[in-house]
Amino acid sequence: MNAPVFEPAPRFNHVAMSVSRDLLTPAGRSDLLRFYGEVFGWSEMPAMSEDGKLLVLRAYRNDQFVFLAASDDPMCCDAKEHWGMSVATPDMLDRMYDAARKLRDEDPRVEIIERKTDDFKAVKLHSFYVRFRVPLWTEVQCFEWAEGIDEQSLP
C-alpha cells in the first residue's frame, strides 16, 4: 500500500498538557515563563492565556505552541514520557542545554537527563532531556547527518 503524499508536508504544531491549578497561579506562571523563556526562547501568548486556567507558550511562531490547561485531575507521566523538539545545530542544542543547567543550579525543580550523542553511522543524534514543573519531559535533538544523507533520505 502506498502512503499518501502531502505537499507541503504537514507538521506538528502544538503539545497540550493538563497541569495542577496551582501551577497556573501568578507565581507558577512566572516560574514557567522564566524557565521556558530563558532556555528555549518561548513567550506567553497573552490573548490565549487565562490566569489560573490556561497558559499558552508561543514556541517561535504563532502556530507553534505549548498549551497548559489547569485541571483537578492533571496529567501524570512516568520517567520517559516526552515530546521532542529538533534544533538546527549542535551549537544551538548546547546553548539550550547550558541555559537549562544554569537554571538547575538556581532551582532544584529543573530536571535534566544529561546530553549525549548516539552515532548511528548515517546520523549522529545529539540530545538531552529537560523538565520543569510540567508532566512531560522535552527531548531536544539535533541530527548531524553523514555526507550525502539528510532528513529527506529514504532508509
Q: Where are the domains of the chain?
A: 14-145
Take residue 87 and report the three cell numbers written for it. Answer: 534544533
Model confidence, pTM: 0.92
User: What pLDDT score does 95 carry?
Assistant: 98
CA atoms of 103 and 29, how far apart (whole Å) = 16
Count other C-beta atoms under 10 Å from residue 113's C-beta.
15
Q: Which residue has the cell 495542577?
A: 20
Alpha helices in the chain (DSSP H): 26-40, 90-106
Rounded CA gap, 59 and 73, in Å?
26
Give the per-residue pLDDT at 79.
80
User: Going residue by residue through the chain (155 aa), what tens digit of pLDDT does each one get?
Assistant: 788 888 888 888 999 999 999 999 999 999 999 999 999 999 999 999 999 999 999 999 999 999 999 999 999 998 889 999 999 999 999 999 999 999 999 999 999 999 999 999 999 999 999 999 999 999 999 999 999 998 888 76
Cell readout for 55 is: 497558559
What CATH fold (topology level) applies to the domain 14-145?
A: 2,3-Dihydroxybiphenyl 1,2-Dioxygenase; domain 1 (3.10.180)
- Residue 10's pLDDT is 87
How high is the pLDDT of residue 2? 80
Distance CA 128, CA 115 (A): 4
Report the Cα 65 to chain-centroid distance in Å.
Answer: 10
- Answer for the pair 116, 128: CB distance below 8 angstroms, yes or no: yes
The CA distance from 84 to 141, in Å, is 7
